[in-house]
Amino acid sequence: MLMGALAIFTVVAAMGLSMVLGVLRGRAVDGRYAMIHGAAALAGSALVIMAALAGDARLYINIAMAVVIIGLGLLMGMAARKGKRPPKVVVVAHVGLAVACYSVLAFFTLIPTAELF
């Protein structure tokens, strides 16, 4: 289950990177692409939640970070829907937390006996 989540989040990360690079080059983000990015992230999150419910308590940190990441993503989406650019702090927080969350998930997936503390 975790390997599937990691695979999905790898695709999600690549999609996010392409959106950020597009914005840095002055292009607007296609709303449909952003929705697919979000839907894929929710699918990966569902797999992580299922693994946590199956007893892997290490993943609670990922779930907590995902809640914040999703909230920040929704803020960016609402700003875009109003025709505004999201605040840079929201974008940086979304990206930074997503990288941290992905790193922790990869750590737990690739080293099954690993623990944070």
Domain residue spans in the chain? 2-110
Per residue in 74-97, pLDDT (tens digit) is 999 999 899 898 899 999 999 999
Per residue in 3-28, pLDDT (tens digit) is 999 999 999 999 999 999 998 898 88
Count of other CB atoms within 10 angstroms of residue 81: 9
CA distance readout (Å), 5 to 9, 12, 17: 6, 10, 18
The predicted model scores a pTM of 0.92
